[in-house]
Chain A
Amino acid sequence: MSGRRIKVLLAKPGLDGHDVGAKVVVQALMEAGFDVVYTGLRQTPDAIAAAAAAESADVIGLSILSGAHLPLCRRVRDLLQERGLYDKLWIVGGNIPEQDRMVLRQLGYRGVFPTGSRTDEIVSFIRENVK
């Protein structure tokens, strides 16, 4: 990764309205020097996959606190794969219980950041894992 800033698409899929964390992460990533696009609330998996492609994002981050992370992440994964975006870094944050974290990693979300994660952890994870 050289010559270009890392670009992150941060999205809120589904109906969940908890956006405090997502907006905090947006600001932390901006401060870390990343190029950040935040979708706002209520995005469909289709819209997120389309935005990821249109923005040529290096990182696709999802924030879900309603508990619907498994069905939503499965759907977004399918659509990202359809668009050939499997080489991008997928991460997810939110109210994610212990037993679901491995499932999400197996789905291809390499970074899983449950509520209470530090923003600097997210920043360094992205720096270390964007190809």
Chain B
Amino acid sequence: MTSTPGQRPPARNEVPLRRVVSESGIEIKPVYTAEDVAASGGSDASRPGEAPFTRGIHPLMYRHRPWTMRQYTGFANAADTNERFKYLIANGQTGLNVAFDLATQCGYDSDAPEAVGEVGRVGMAVDTLRDFEIAFDGIDLDAITVSLTINGAAAILIAMYLAMAEKRGYDLARLRGTAQNDILKEFIGRGTWVFPVDPSVKLVADTIEYCAKAAPKYSPVSVCGYHIRESGATPAEEMGYAFAIAKAYTDAALARGLDIDEFAGRLSFNFNIFGNLFEQVAKFRAGRRRWAKIVLEEYGAKRPESGWMRMIAGGGGFGLTIEQPENNIMRGAYYALIAALGGAQTMALCCYDEAYTIPTPKAQRVSLRTMQLLIEEMGLADTVDPLGGSYYIETLTNQLEEKIVEAMRWVDANGGIVKAVSEGVIQAKVSQYAYERQKALESGALRKVGVNCYVETEEEKPQVELHPYDEMGALAQIEGLRKVRSARSNDAVARALAALRADAQAGRNVMPALMEAVNAYATVGEMTGALVDVYGRFQEPTRLWRMVA
């Protein structure tokens, strides 16, 4: 370690200190004092619930209302998923977070050739409104809010959700719920894009505009730093890139003539949580402050709520390991602790078996109990921002905010997020970081318990329980789809699809036409197809990956 001027030299018998640098590139000191806080910009005097919301978006936070517990769930078909939803609700879960299979996510019907082997595998299969009617049957959509983890096909599935709720008699003006609907991050990581970048952003703006008018309590977008971090970004970059994306959607919505205060309060975020506990907590505090400044100062929003960085946290796939999977229970507990200390509105805690399978009911229950015991036994819901005022946390919060701004500047220097994504520049940067991270894991420079230290011998390897995939389930789903196709009015579907194509062609908001098509029981594949006719399909820029000899 190189000694910093002003620091006292190590005393006799003292081991020389190892240098600690956080993932975001901040040098971590062994001791922090009031001087560090002052030197990094001081701690802001705002109270929780006061802009810029460093300490939390609500004055009383969890004392007023604990975080929503919303485990990511969905597999096979609507009926099986409905059963698991009810199991989780019976166990005290307070929100739903729906996983869809890849065919649905990519806009294919269950009987499309592209869907072979994928129907109902990583989530629930959805072809028509009928599937949503079954999936949410018997669930009170006022009592429990539903989050749809859908992106490429988000406009279609949001329409489906709204249509289902309307059919069941809910008033859309009061209906709450969330869709992930963050397509820009799909191009960077996760990969369930359908249309090219520009029309994809246009569709996000359509959903924001439509919901602002028709379903103003519905949150149409949850911007995800999460997957960017998984794909290869530091905590500060994760947040900086997410804000760049959120600004792109904001700009697109403003271009429709919406007022910032009409929609900004309904934007939310999804962040990752693995890594150093203190850096994560500081990241959330810094992010809240930065996002409030962006919305309230840069965009000039008038309503303080417009500047709220509402977030879901608790997932951290990269942090979990297949090796010694029981350790993931401990990791999950710390993730929940971080999310609570960081002021998350919602937690979707990753399960201990998630690194190798769709979580079993037991694993889901352990995650749920982890969050419940933080509230019931550990006092995490009693006091707002308990780490606020700590010299270390306040200093790190200031330093993280600077790093977040730095990451946003990098995006700007590369022509903005839409250009950086279209050209694959950001994908290349993120992948390069992932490679560095992998090399550090392999060399042992990045320590991972059970992976490159404290490893177990072959004989001790635990038996793991895998979620079974039922090939017959796909056939049943296809059979159900055929029944819907033969029972509906195909003329009405054809008319609705023609109207959808015409609206897309004319550059109009496609949501009203999608509502029409969904209500006529048009399939996900048919509606996607109509939009592909106009927009085309995305071609991934892989030229950066071609080795030139």
Taken together as a complex, chains A and B put the C-alpha atoms of A37 and B230 apart, in Å, by: 23
Q: Which residue of A lies closest to B541 (CB)?
A: A40
Residues on the A chain within 8 Å of B122, using CB: 66-67
* Residues of B196-222 whose CB lies within 8 A of A: none
In the complex, what distance in Å separates the CA atom of A6 from the CA atom of B317? 33
Q: Does B549 contact A (CB under 8 A)?
A: yes
Partner of A20, one of B121, B232, B321, B323: B232
CB contacts (< 8 Å) of B105 on chain A: these are 15
Smallest CB-CB separation from A39: which chain B residue? B542
Chain A proximity of B549: nearest CB distance (Å): 6
Contact partner of B545 among A26, A35, A44, A75, CB < 8 A?
A: A26
> Is A68 part of the binding interface, using a Cβ–Cβ cutoff of 8 Å?
yes
Most buried by B among A14, A36, A119: A14
Contact flags A101-118 to B (C-beta < 8 A → 1, else 0) = 000000000000011101
Q: Is the CB of A44 within 8 A of B356?
A: no
Instruction: Determine if A79 is an interface residue (Cβ-Cβ < 8 Å).
Output: no
Question: Which residues in window 70-120 of B have CB below 8 A to A?
Answer: 102-103, 105-106, 108, 114-118
Dominant secondary structure at the B interface? loop
- How big is the A interface, by class? 35 or more
Whether A116 and B323, one on each chain, are in contact in the complex, defined by CB atoms closer than 8 angstroms, is yes
Q: Choose from B114, B323, B434, B546 the contact partner of A24 (Cβ within 8 Å).
A: B434
Residue on B nearest A13 in the bound complex, by CB: B117
B457 to chain A, nearest CB (A): 16
CB distance from A83 to the nearest CB of B (A): 20
Distance (Å) between the CB of B196 and the closest chain A CB? 14
State in angstroms the CA–CA spacing of A17 and B322 once bound together. 20
A42-B540 in contact (CB<8A):
yes
CB pair B116–A71 under 8 Å, yes or no, is yes
Q: Which residue of A lies closest to B548 (CB)?
A: A35
Stretch of B54-62, B128-136, B183-191 at the chain-chain interface: B183-191
Q: How many A-B residue pairs have CB under 8 A?
A: 103
Asked if B542 contacts A38 (CB within 8 A), the reply is yes
A20 and B442 contacting across the interface, CB-CB below 8 Å: no
Contacts of B492 in A (CB 8 A): none
Q: Which of B120-159 contact A (CB under 8 A)?
A: 121-122
Indicate whether B390 reaches chain A with its CB closer than 8 angstroms: no
Contacts of B442 in A (CB 8 A): 118-120
Please report the total number of B residues contacting A with Cβ < 8 Å: 43
Q: Which A residues, 70 to 108, have Cβ-Cβ distances below 8 Å to chain B?
A: 70-72, 75, 95, 97
Task: List chain A residues, Cβ under 8 A from B230.
Answer: 20
Is B547 a contact of A36 with CB atoms below 8 Å? Answer: yes
Residue-wise interface mask of B (508-549) relative to A, using a CB-CB cutoff of 8 A (1 in contact, 0 not): 000000000000000000000000000000001110011101
On whether the beta carbons of A20 and B189 are closer than 8 Å, the reply is yes
B3 within 8 A of A: no
Task: State how many angstroms separate the Cβ of A92 from the closest Cβ of chain B.
Answer: 14
Does B192 count as interface, using CB distance less than 8 angstroms?
yes
- Distance in angstroms between the alpha carbons of A30 and B432 in the assembled complex: 12
Q: Is A127 an interface residue (CB 8 A)?
A: no
B431 adjacent to chain A (CB < 8 Å): yes
Q: Inside 8 A of A40's CB, which chain B residues have their CB?
A: 540-542, 545
B541 CB contacts on chain A under 8 angstroms: 40
The reply to whether B191 and A116 form a contact with Cβ atoms under 8 Å apart is no
A23, chain B: closest CB distance, angstroms: 4
Given contacts A38-B542, A72-B117, contact A116 B322 (CB under 8 A): yes
Assess whether A17 is in contact with B191, with CB atoms less than 8 Å apart.
Answer: yes
Whether A18 pairs with B431 at a CB distance below 8 angstroms is: no
Identify which of A23, A26, A39 gathers the most chain B CB atoms within 10 Å of its CB. A23
The residue of chain A having its C-beta at the shortest distance from the C-beta of B463 within the complex is A98
State whether B106 touches A23 (Cβ < 8 A). Answer: no
Q: How far is the CA of A39 from the CA of B541 in the complex (A)?
A: 10
Evaluate contact between A27 and B117: CB separation under 8 angstroms: no
Q: Which of B115, B191, B321, B431 contacts A41 (CB 8 A)?
A: B191
Q: Do A23 and B545 have beta carbons less than 8 Å apart?
A: yes
Chain B proximity of A32: nearest CB distance (Å):
11
Q: Would you call B191 and A66 a contact (CB within 8 A)?
A: no
Within 8 Å of chain A (Cβ to Cβ): is B469?
yes
20 contacts between A and B (CB under 8 A): A15-B114, A17-B186, A17-B190, A18-B191, A19-B189, A19-B231, A24-B431, A24-B434, A37-B546, A37-B547, A38-B545, A40-B540, A66-B102, A66-B121, A66-B122, A67-B122, A70-B117, A97-B464, A116-B321, A119-B442
Extra contacts besides A19-B191, A24-B431, A120-B442 (11): CB < 8 Å: A15-B108, A17-B190, A24-B435, A30-B547, A37-B547, A40-B542, A67-B122, A70-B117, A115-B355, A118-B442, A119-B439
Residues of B within 8 A of A (CB): 102-103, 105-106, 108, 114-118, 121-122, 186, 189-192, 230-232, 321-323, 355-356, 431-432, 434-435, 438-439, 442, 451, 464, 466, 469, 540-542, 545-547, 549
